[in-house]
Structure 1
Amino acid sequence: MTEDERTALMNDIKGELTSTWSVIKSEDIWWARDLAYKIRWSKIGYYVLFNLESDGSKFFDITKDFNIKKDIWRHMFVRLED
């Protein structure tokens, strides 16, 4: 994946999050990291951590959208205590 493709994917993800979730409070881009095992014949993955503020009502919609995207291999949503 080229730098332009990663930037376009990040903008797409942010757009989906802001259209579905309330606010992106913070974003931590780790970029390239070695994977513990190969995924789709690759040993390198690009990691991004978003801290979101939302009511959570659209959780399943955004999960479904992320599952469809071929460039998002894994994702996880975790609810943090207030």
Structure 2
Amino acid sequence: MRKYELMTIFPLEEDKYKKGSDTVKSVLSQFGAEIEKEEPFGDRDLTYVVKKQKRGRFVLFNVKVNPAKIVEIETQFKLNNDLIKHMFVAVEEK
């Protein structure tokens, strides 16, 4: 298992945010990931329009997951219409 930071952007509508967040957590647990921390970053303007959205709700997840599962997780995230964008970044262990 390796540590990653997962930055996600959800729509501002509360119901879409809640549904998208629940789906992200469900997919992560489905593939054996451990969510260590969930940190909301608030609502912010997007640099460019994505999926017809100009603003989004940013949430950072600190997760531990098997690196071989990242591609499968990202495939499931792409099918989630309530997730505007996401990005995994590997955390360097000291």
Map 1:1-82 to 2 at 5 A.
Answer: 2-82=13-93
The share of aligned pairs that are identical, in percent, is: 30
CA RMSD in angstroms comes to: 1.6
- TM-score (normalizing by structure 1): 0.84
Residue 10 of structure 1 deviates from its aligned partner by: 0.8
| Higher relative contact order, structure no. (Cα contacts within 8 Å, ≥ 6 residues apart) | 2
Q: Unaligned stretches of 5+ in structure 2?
A: 1-11
Higher strand share: 2
> When the two structures are aligned, how many residues end up with a matched partner?
82
**Structure 1 alignment gaps of length 5 or more:** none
Give 1:37 deviation, angstroms. 1.5
CA deviation profile, 1:25-62 (whole Å, cap 9, x unmatched): 11111232111112233210121111011222211100
